[in-house]
Structure 1
Amino acid sequence: MEYVGRVPAPPLDLFVDDIYCLTGVPRHRWMNVPPMPSAHLFIHLGGPVRLLDSDRSVPPAVFTDAWFMGVWTRRFLFEYPARVRLVGVHFKPWGMSPFVGIPANELRNRWVPVDAVWQRSVDRMRDRVGEAASPADTLRVVEEELRSRLTEPPWRGLDLVRHTGGRLETSHGAIPVGALADDAGVSGNHLAKLFKDHVGVTPKRVARIYRFARLIVSVDALRPVDWSELAHAAGYFDHAHFSREFKDFTGHTPTQYLALRRRFPAEPGAPQDNGPMPAD
């Protein structure tokens, strides 16, 4: 599949990592997605997409148009249609907050139809995206939509969350949460409440996800992998804890994951393959 993406212009870049188009025939229909440090908006112009939670008590979902996804703390699976035409937005963990107008913890580990958040907007958005002549035009249309939806400050507590979340991002989750709260001049409980409001999870959970993301994208399946070295570099100092978290987040042991990556290597220049892994 072809992936075309770009970072939006300020001020959207404070909240969005990238806007992208994904088109073509997928190599794998089912993908297994571990927790990653982002929230999402998807606009689909192809066939229906099916999503399965790793928590089997949660009913599967099927989307034919557009949906939001909050930050996920466990893995999920999704099924591509036979041919993909998808427009997506990777929000920073706190990035969806000034666009949706509802507490982020209501979107944690959830898929929500766009019309449930932006009422009567899906058809107009799909029409505009569908009429775009090129990926560049498509990205411009989505960027304009986001710009029109960005609320004006003040966003209560969001600047503090963005600042501390940015430090977790650049440190790959290595800064102790207590130090973040102390540096910000607030209590740990207050910082946790702000994160739940604007991210959906606590800063400790965000740090764990950033730490895991650093580990997973550093794996080079074409070379011998020293898991102890990678885990230590990512901030895991307890091997048993690392092994449990890796299995929880991917559904595989490190050895099983490496075998899967060697069997199905990621496409060069395809960022969507850096975290998700084939599940079929």
Structure 2
Amino acid sequence: MDTRSRDPRPAGSMEAGSMEYVGRVPAPPLDLFIDDIYCLTGVPRHHRMNVPPMPSAHLFINLGEPAHLWDSDPSVPSAVFPDGWFMGTWTRRFLYEYPARVRLVGVHFKPWGISPFIDMPASELRNRWAPVDAVWRRSLDRIRNQVGDTVSAAETLRVLEEELRSRLAEGSSRGLDLVRHTGRRLEASHGAIPVAALADAAGVSGNHLSEQFKCHVGVTPKRVARIYRFARLILSVDAQRPVDWSELAHTAGYFDRAHFTREFKDFTGHTPTEYLDLRRRFPADRGFPPDNGPMPAD
């Protein structure tokens, strides 16, 4: 699962326990829309993970046993995916259960990056997961057949990259260009630039910018800024040292401690103190992206 605050992720192979993550940034122009493509294989240390919102959308192609997902909203039914699924931008946490043995291929889209690959508004995937074939009509079997017997991670990633390249819409709408430009500014500032300043700099109204973000990201720029801000904070926690939450919150742009604590609990399901205790009990494996943000829920 994607868990970082959009800092460039090194290519190569990284291991955590008996899990292996092999990922790389795709070649241009895909890199304008995608942070990385990757293979994840092995036996997980923890089977159920509590995943906070992160500035990303996702594609997962499951080559192994079914995966199980739960929304933190108890009114939403859980889902089991034997094949593959898309996920849009999430504004709340969800739970993901690995199968006993993992073999999947994935894409971490930038928040605006999923838009040119799907024939629907990104808002239809906000806080949702959807089977791949519901988005890419009758294509999953073909993709799985191409990579299903491939032993080499490099070859698997090549096949996935070619599939993505073939589906990238030619040209982009003015709305997507606007969202990509302002989204990159939010990314670089970790959500610190006011939305009004973004709109003014782009020469559009705040309402127009928000409508374009809803179409191409699924959420408003204000919501994207909140997620970037939280991602910066959560990934700056060093559980091996004393943590000054007030300082971290201020650095990340939280100026109201009560608001910070409430948002932290909403996004993680834990208070900052509870989260830190969990992180010390279950330390992240350095350089292994899937463990940087989610926490074990079992």
Same fold flag (TM > 0.5): yes
1:90 to 103, 108, 115: 108
Counterpart Cα distance in 1 of 2:149 and 2:116 = 27
Tell me if the contact between 1:47 and 1:83 (Cα under 8 Å) persists in the aligned partners.
Answer: yes
Within the alignment, does 1:195 sit opposite 2:213 as a pair? Answer: yes
The one-character-per-residue Cα deviations of 1:46-74 (angstroms, maximum 9, x if unpaired) are 11101000000000000000110000000
The range that moved more, 123-132 or 256-265, is: 123-132
1:204 to 217, 222, 229: 222
Which residue in the other structure is 2:197 paired with?
A: 179
Counterpart Cα distance in 1 of 2:208 and 2:138 = 36
Counterpart Cα distance in 2 of 1:267 and 1:154 = 38
Which residue in the other structure is 2:148 paired with?
A: 130
Counterpart Cα distance in 2 of 1:100 and 1:156 = 17
Which residue in the other structure is 1:114 paired with?
A: 132
The one-character-per-residue Cα deviations of 1:237-262 (angstroms, maximum 9, x if unpaired) are 11000000000000000000000000
Number of equivalenced pairs: 280
Greater than 3 Å deviation, 4+ residue runs = none
Q: Amino acid of the residue matched to residue 244 of structure 1?
A: R
Give 1:131 shift: 2.5
Give 1:167 shift: 0.2
Which segments of 5 or more consecutive residues in structure 1 lack a partner in the other structure? Answer: none
TM-score (norm 1): 0.99
1:147 to 149, 154, 165: 165
Counterpart Cα distance in 2 of 1:129 and 1:61 = 24
The one-character-per-residue Cα deviations of 1:89-123 (angstroms, maximum 9, x if unpaired) are 00000000000010000000000001011111011
Give 1:132 shift: 2.1
Within the alignment, does 1:16 sit opposite 2:34 as a pair? Answer: yes
RMSD: 0.7
Within the alignment, does 1:263 sit opposite 2:281 as a pair? Answer: yes
The one-character-per-residue Cα deviations of 1:220-248 (angstroms, maximum 9, x if unpaired) are 11111110110011000110000000000
Give 1:275 shift: 1.2
Counterpart Cα distance in 1 of 2:55 and 2:222 = 12
Which residue in the other structure is 1:273 paired with?
A: 291
Percent identical residues: 81
1:241 to 259, 267, 284: 259
Q: Amino acid of the residue matched to residue 297 of structure 2?
A: A
The one-character-per-residue Cα deviations of 1:5-44 (angstroms, maximum 9, x if unpaired) are 0000000000000001111100001000000000000001
